[in-house]
Structure 1
Amino acid sequence: MKKNTSKKNPNQAIGIDIVEIKRLARVSKKWGRGFLDKVYTPRELSYANSKRFPYQHLAARFAAKEAIFKALGEVEDNFVGWKNVEILNDAYGKPLVVWHGTAEKVRKKRKLKDVVVSLSHTENYAVASAMLIF
């Protein structure tokens, strides 16, 4: 991925991603708990597993992480692992991003002030967008 070099809005970056829910379910079933534990935090897994259709919620969180990674673009010398970007919900159900480890270091280095994430899903697809504000 390339670094955001937009001259019109250098203080913002946007990412979007879409995930086919059945595909995520197949991968999860094929690779088992190892895959889930590599991508999701215990709180993300607990939240999704409390829902009637957990894969819809897991797919939405996967899409949100991808959207954030796309908006971040190239990350100098730091690998931002999947679990270092945690997608939770606030008291009102609004998506909330919690930064950990290398993601927190990148957030501080880039002077990221805020991130706005939107999640949605249907029976078949989950989509997420992320706007980073520097």
Structure 2
Amino acid sequence: MIYGIGTDICDVRRVRASFERHGERFAQKILSDAEFNTWQARSARWPERGLRYLATRFSAKEAFSKAIGLGMRMPMTWRNCEIAKAASGKPEIVLHGVLKEWFDAKNLTAHVTVTDETDYAASFVVVEQNTKR
């Protein structure tokens, strides 16, 4: 059963402006530790690619927060929601801490897709609830 659907579009130029204003602190606020490491590696090779990575993660977390119906309120936090990549390359949501506990207690699963094109990053999330116990 569908529990919630969320979508978000993010202007990469706004992410760039926030990054220019706040520097690495902005990335540390938005990204999990694993995402932060990936962001640093991508940014070192190609800064624009790093900004797009940051924008897609921002967008996906916003879409996820909408799909679960919490917005950016506890237990939803930027860093407890990680957008990882499966071995196949498929993006997947990995949760941590109290957010993972809350999500698991509701018997939810999530599906995410992300994309970016020049000035925009977009994400779509579907959250399902398994009603069979």
Q: Shorter-chain TM-score category?
A: 0.7 to 0.9
Q: In the comparison of the two structures, how many residue pairs are matched? A: 123
How far apart, in 2, do the equivalents of 1:74 and 1:126 lie? Answer: 21
Unaligned regions of 5+ residues in structure 1, if any?
1-9
User: Shift of the alpha carbon at 1:58?
Assistant: 1.1
Letter in 2 for 1:103: L
Alignment equivalent of 2:57, drawn from 34, 54, 61: 61
Q: Give the Å deviation of 1:11.
A: 3.4
Contact 1:60 1:127 in 2 (8 A): yes
Structure 2: runs of 5+ lacking an equivalent: none
Deviation for aligned residue 1:41? 1.5
Matched AA of 1:120: T
Who is 2:13 aligned against? 22
Q: CA deviation at 1:109?
A: 2.4
Q: CA RMSD in A?
A: 1.7
**Displacement over 6 Å in runs of 4+:** none
Residue matched to 2:76 = 80
Q: Which amino acid aligns with 2:37?
A: S
Amino-acid identity (%): 28
Distance in 1 between residues matched to 2:9 and 2:93, nearest whole Å: 18
* TM-score for the superposition, normalised by structure 2: 0.84
Deviation at 1:79, TM superposition (A): 3.2
**Residue 27 (structure 2) aligned to one of 20, 29, 36:** 36
